Amino acid sequence: MGPPEIPRKGSSGSISVCEDGGLLESPLAEGRDLVHEKVLPKGSKALLAWIDKNAATMFREWTLAGGTGLALWFGHRISEDFDFFCTEGMDLASMHRLFSRYGPYETLQEAENTLTVLLAGTKLSFFQIPDPFLFERVPYRTFFLADVRDIALMKLVAISSRGSRKDFIDLYTILRSGPMLSDLFDLLPKKYGPGRANVYHILKSLTYFADAEREPMPTMLEPLDWKECKAFFVREAHAIVLPD
């Protein structure tokens, strides 16, 4: 049985690019399969163009999520790093050979299922994950863009680990677009398996802002009131009733 639906109208299965348009009203609304590349700094755009030309084969099974994936959907803030995910095995040697063709680069982290590199000032992270995406991915350039709802679930888990200001702002942006926090809590066991996501800890984390307060505001393309963002999560968290 598939995941419960959060209403999403009329997805076309493909994406149009908007370089300079206004804030995306909601990618969950009809006719809104549109990305905003204005959120990408010049270096990030140049790297994507190089990937399109030189790395299409390697990237074809990867899915972009994270803050940049979400910013492309909503156009709400500048985001320069790329977080890619796949459920297949990672060929680290081939990835290193590919990056060396771009020029000098730095390996920031490497493990069996993780690789993070710095290419010309842009950070790219690659994660092999056991949990498939719940919702259909959308083709974008030479890879895929994760559905907003999958990104929202990943943001929830990230906040429970260490709530960065960007994660709170991104989840706030998602929740104002249509999905309800209770919808996401219902989806957590579908994505991560029963009992694997500690919903009580996640709920408590949504009202803990100490780590986020130590971080600067990201560069916003639309006004956002940080105090209202925090108040929103306090209200929403208190309204959630978890099973005994």
| 22 pLDDT higher than 70 | no
Residue 48 lies inside a defined structural domain of this protein: yes
High-pLDDT (> 70) share of the chain, %: 86
Residue 44 lies inside a defined structural domain of this protein: yes
Beta carbons of 149 and 134 less than 8 angstroms apart: yes
Question: How many residues are present in the chain?
Answer: 244
DSSP state of 225: -
Sign for the CA dihedral angle at 65, 111, 116, 213 comes to: positive
Mean residue pLDDT across the chain: 88
Residue 175 or 2, more confident: 175
Beta carbons of 64 and 84 less than 8 angstroms apart: yes
Q: Write out the DSSP string of 146-195.
A: --HHHHHHHHHHHHHH---HHHHHHHHHHHTTS--HHHHHHHHHHHH-TT
| CA nearest to 140, candidates 41, 37, 39 | 37
Mean pLDDT of 13-24: 50
> How many domains are there within the chain?
1
Residue 11 lies inside a defined structural domain of this protein: no
Residue 172, φ and ψ in degrees, nearest 5: -60, -45
DSSP lists the bridge partners of residue 83 as 65, 125
Residue 12 or 158, more confident: 158
In terms of residue numbers, what domain contains 208?
Answer: 16-239
Question: How many Cα atoms occupy the beta-carbon half-sphere of 138 within 13 Å?
Answer: 26
pLDDT tens track for 35-87: 899 999 999 999 999 999 999 999 999 999 999 999 999 999 999 999 999 99
Amino acid letter, 176: R
Residue 11 or 124, more confident: 124
Q: Which residue has the tokens 């063709």?
A: 101
Residue 6 lies inside a defined structural domain of this protein: no
Confidence of residue 108 (pLDDT cuts 50, 70, 90): very high
Q: Which residue has the tokens 């679930």?
A: 153
Beta carbons of 18 and 75 less than 8 angstroms apart: yes
Between CA 150 and CA 196 the distance in angstroms is 16
DSSP lists the bridge partners of residue 107 as 117
Helix (H, G, I), strand (E, B), or coil: what is residue 103? Answer: coil
Residue 214 lies inside a defined structural domain of this protein: yes
CB atoms within 10 A of CB 63: 23
CATH of the domain at 127: 3.30.460.40
pLDDT tens track for 202-217: 999 999 999 999 999 9
Residue 195 lies inside a defined structural domain of this protein: yes
Residue 173 or 3, more confident: 173
| CA nearest to 63, candidates 193, 2, 154 | 154
Residue 108 lies inside a defined structural domain of this protein: yes
Residue 1 lies inside a defined structural domain of this protein: no
> What was the pLDDT predicted at 18?
59
Mean pLDDT of 192-198: 90
Confidence of residue 21 (pLDDT cuts 50, 70, 90): very low
Beta strands of 45-137 (E only): which ranges?
63-65, 82-86, 105-111, 114-119, 122-128
pLDDT tens track for 44-57: 999 999 999 999 99
Q: At what angle do helices 165-175 and 66-74 cross, to 10 degrees?
A: 40
pLDDT tens track for 167-183: 999 999 999 988 899 99
> What was the pLDDT predicted at 17?
63
Beta carbons of 82 and 37 less than 8 angstroms apart: no
> What was the pLDDT predicted at 103?
86
Confidence of residue 131 (pLDDT cuts 50, 70, 90): confident
